[in-house]
Amino acid sequence: MIEPIRLLAFAFAGADLLFEIDSNGAILFVTGAPSGFSTAATLTGRPASEFFAAEEQARFMVMAQSMTPGERQGPLQITLASGEKGTLAMCYLPQSDRISCTLVRPGKRGRLGGSTNKDPETGLVDKDAFLAAAAEHAGGRGAVAMVNVPNLPDVCAKLSPQDAAGLMAGIGANVAAMGAIVAARLSQTRFGIVSDDPRAAKSLSEKIQSAVRERGLGSLQVEEVLMSLKGRNLSPEQNVLALRYVVSQFTEGKIKAVPSTDLAVMFDKMMEETVAKAQAFNSTVADGAFNLAFEPIVDLKTGFTSHYEALSRFEAGKSPAELVKFAEELCLADGLDFAVALKTFSILEGDPAITAKIAFNVSGRTFADPTSFGMLAGLLAKKRALAKRVLIEMTESAEVPDITAADKAIQSLRQMGYKVGIDDFGAGAASLQYLHGLTVDFVKFDGGVIQRLGKSPREDALLKSVLATCNELHIETVAEWIDSADKLQRCKDIGFNCGQGRHFGGSLAELPKDHSMMQKRNVRREGERVSWG
């Protein structure tokens, strides 16, 4: 028989936190390093869902309540309350009334029991615990205060080791005595608190100065950031993005001091910086390494152009991987998606003679990643005046592990007025799952499906039934790779609404202007009439 201590060691080799829950999701037992996941003093009896971001809590509870003895779930990626990505695994042992769970945090592994999460000089918690607590209260009535004392190392260097240790302990004691939700040492010279009382948060600087003056050292220079945790009209994901942004900027010395503000202001600032970075990316590749080409999507009943798909085009002979990597280094989780969106809006805003509709692609990874999607949603919200002229195609839907979360993201864009659809759609069971789980405006069928039209009566019948389902759900259907008159006729006969492909001519380097708007589109001729209304 394996010794229990050895089993525990095996478990901790692969996880940071071990906990057990009952069928209602309440914690029955927990061990490991909980301070990286929660700031609660006692976890037993609390809902385990508190470990996770608000948008993930329902998902966790559905999984827990649907498990049966002998079943395992995961490992699967899940967003923690801090906004970080974690990995969750669950096991419902046979002949047991509890579910065993493991959680792994990203980054460097700490000691069991969370002992490394306390600063040994001040006794305050670390940056991760600070972020977790702040994220939990983001959007509420509390406040964050952060103070930098840049000359603190120089002062300590002039003191004896005993006096320097006493100074740091005194600072820690004064900050801890404020009674904040969490008190942290963010870096060698920076400290922060999360308080449910915004007025109390303003005294952080004075508490640190008091510890310095008590030792006869006079006042020190301080840099202070005060921020309300309120986030006007921000989603929970965007609140966490703004919070992580300002903490990161402060701890890296990029923010010296900020007068009292809130998360919404910081999110706007973050969006401005991100747009500027994306514009710099566009400028870098504007010499021909990155352009947009426009391929028409044609209404098969009328022969008129419905809209155009914006397609990325890179310099001949040059790998796009370098450019994508460059965009990612600009702190954009999916930089090319963001850059294409930004360039699309620039085209629509830059020339009033262009009145066409444009569709651009957004990868499934962007929909699945709260950080990437939060940034894109922020841009789309700012540009919602153009929503009626923009369509969004979700590509690589296999990259979406959580259909419910993806649908929530899609609906938020549709509520802004954007048309959203699924690209690379097939006729199989997986595609039907997307039809059931995602409420969309259109689906674009993969070219491979179109190329097989007429070759298998069984496959044609299945495709026809899917098209009929789309029609009943008022979902427009688009056929890719229409490269001949025969393919065009087959797509019309089986029930597609729109088509795309070489049969309708090549892609355009520029969108048509007003003079071509009402021309009927013939092969190798361009015209455009607004539909999909």
Helix 161-176 and helix 204-213, axial crossing angle in degrees, nearest 10: 150
Question: How high does pLDDT run on average in the chain?
Answer: 80
Same structural domain for residues 100 and 220? no
Q: Does 129 share its domain with 53?
A: no
- Least confident among 6-10, 107-111, 112-116, 299-303: 112-116
Q: What is the CATH number of the domain that holds 328?
A: 3.20.20.450
Q: How far is the C-alpha of 7 from the C-alpha of 512, rounded, in Å?
A: 68
Please state, in angstroms and rounded to a whole number, the distance separating the CA atoms of residues 375 and 274.
8
The answer to whether residue 190 sits within a structural domain is yes
- pLDDT tens-digit profile of 424-446? 887 444 466 777 788 999 999 98
Instruction: Quote the CA–CA distance of 418 and 420 in Å, as a whole number.
Output: 6
Q: What is the mean pLDDT of residues 143-151?
A: 91
- Is residue 347 in a domain? yes
Question: 444 and 478 in contact (C-beta within 8 Å)?
Answer: yes
Residue 250: phi and psi, rounded to 5, are -70, -45
Residue among 421, 424, 431, 438 at smallest CA distance from 463: 431
pLDDT at 48 over 70: yes
Give the number of residues written for the chain: 533
- Helix (H), strand (E), coil (C) string for 17-50: EEEEECCCCEEEEEEECHHHCCCCCCCCCCEHHH
Instruction: Identify whether residues 433 and 343 lie together within a single domain.
Output: yes
- Amino acid of residue 242: A
Whether 14 and 158 map to the same domain: the answer is: no
Residues 88 and 125 in one domain: no
Query: Is residue 532 in some structural domain?
Result: no
CATH number of the domain within which 24 lies: 3.30.450.20
Residues 91 and 193 in one domain: no
Residue 265's CB: how many other CB atoms inside 10 A? 18
- Three-state secondary structure call for residue 362: strand
Instruction: Give residue 420's Cα distance to chain centre.
Output: 18
Which CATH number is 227's domain given? 3.30.70.270
pLDDT at residue number 379? 92
450 falls within a domain? yes
Residue 524: is its pLDDT beyond 80?
A: no
Residue 296's pLDDT band (cuts 50, 70, 90): very high
Residue 236 domain-assigned (yes or no): yes
- Does residue 162 belong to any structural domain of this protein? yes
Are 234 and 331 part of one and the same domain?
A: no
What's the mean pLDDT in 484-512?
Answer: 93
- In the chain, % of residues over pLDDT 70: 78
Domain tally, the chain: 3
pTM reported for the whole predicted model? 0.53
Q: Are residues 214 and 236 in the same domain?
A: yes
Dihedrals phi, psi of 182, to nearest 5 degrees:
-150, 140
Q: What is the pLDDT of residue 309?
A: 95
Terminal-residue alpha carbon distance, the chain: 69
Most confident segment among 112-116, 213-217, 257-261, 334-338: 213-217
Where among 85, 112, 139 does a domain terminate? Answer: 112
Domain of residue 155: give its range.
118-269
Q: Is residue 281 part of a domain?
A: no
Inform me whether the pLDDT recorded for 401 exceeds 70. Answer: no
486 in any annotated domain: yes
pLDDT bin (cut points 50, 70, 90) of residue 201 is confident
Q: Which of 112, 130, 156 is the last residue of a domain?
A: 112
User: Could you tell me which of 113, 532, 508, 127 has the C-alpha nearest to residue 306?
Assistant: 532
Question: How many CB atoms are closer than 10 A to CB 355?
Answer: 15
Is the pLDDT higher at 462 or at 110? 462
146 and 102 in a single domain? The answer is no
Q: Are residues 433 and 405 in the same domain?
A: yes
333 with 436, same domain: the answer is yes
> What is the pLDDT averaged over residues 352-378?
86
Which residue did the predictor score with more confidence, 330 or 212? 212
CA distance 285 to 142: 43
Q: Is 213 in the same domain as 144?
A: yes
